[in-house]
């Protein structure tokens, strides 16, 4: 049954994605496009764009949108529950652990080792999305401008998405 498959696919993604929603993107892409064939690459990019534009965490939004695309409202609910269940379990367990052991050297060392890995995973997600989203020179120019404006001017990301959408309407 597709609802159960969606739940367990996103449960697995939730358990093996440490570092947030952007880290989940490569796993979601592999599971949804490569393994299951539920969406095409272009549909997946659209889902990520919508998940980014809507309020809330990108991981939950993308799970919800993928579930909806694949199996309607019940798919959205199933995927969302699947992706949040590991976080709820891990937060409950780790909150007690961290309060007791946070100052211990091995816990501090754990976080020192995980931080660079998270950066690598986020960069990997950016490259994966970029390969599919930037389809021509105009897209590369838009992406480059947005990147530099975000890094050096730090505007509101929603404003940048809206401006980029308007530019896309005009240019394309």
How far lies 143's CA from each of 13, 19, 54, 90, 155, in Å?
A: 28, 24, 20, 35, 15
User: pLDDT tens-digit profile of 55-96?
Assistant: 888 888 989 989 999 999 999 999 999 999 988 998 888 888
In Å, what is the CA distance from 118 to each residue of 26, 41, 111? 12, 24, 10
Please state, in angstroms and rounded to a whole number, the distance separating the CA atoms of residues 57 and 104: 30
Q: Has this prediction a pTM greater than 0.85?
A: no
Residue-wise pLDDT for 132-150, tens only, equals 888 899 999 999 999 999 9
What's CA 81's distance to the chain center, in Å? 16
Sequence ranges of the domains in the chain: 2-100
């Amino acid at each position: 049954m597709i609802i159960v498959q969606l739940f367990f696919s996103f449960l697995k993604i939730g358990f093996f994605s440490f570092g947030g929603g952007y880290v989940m993107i490569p796993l979601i892409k592999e599971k949804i496009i490569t393994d299951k064939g539920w969406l095409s690459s272009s549909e997946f990019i659209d889902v990520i764009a919508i998940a980014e534009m809507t309020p809330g965490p990108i991981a939950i939004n993308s799970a919800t949108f993928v579930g909806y695309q694949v199996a309607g409202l019940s798919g959205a609910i199933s995927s969302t529950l699947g992706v949040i269940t590991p976080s709820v379990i891990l937060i409950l367990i780790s909150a007690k652990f961290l309060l007791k052991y946070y100052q211990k050297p091995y816990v501090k060392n754990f976080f020192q080792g995980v931080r660079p890995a998270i950066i690598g995973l986020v960069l990997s997600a950016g490259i994966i999305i970029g390969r599919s989203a930037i389809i021509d020179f105009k897209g590369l120019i838009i992406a480059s401008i947005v990147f530099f404006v975000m890094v050096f001017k730090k505007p509101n990301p929603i404003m940048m998405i809206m401006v980029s959408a308007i530019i896309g309407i005009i240019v394309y």
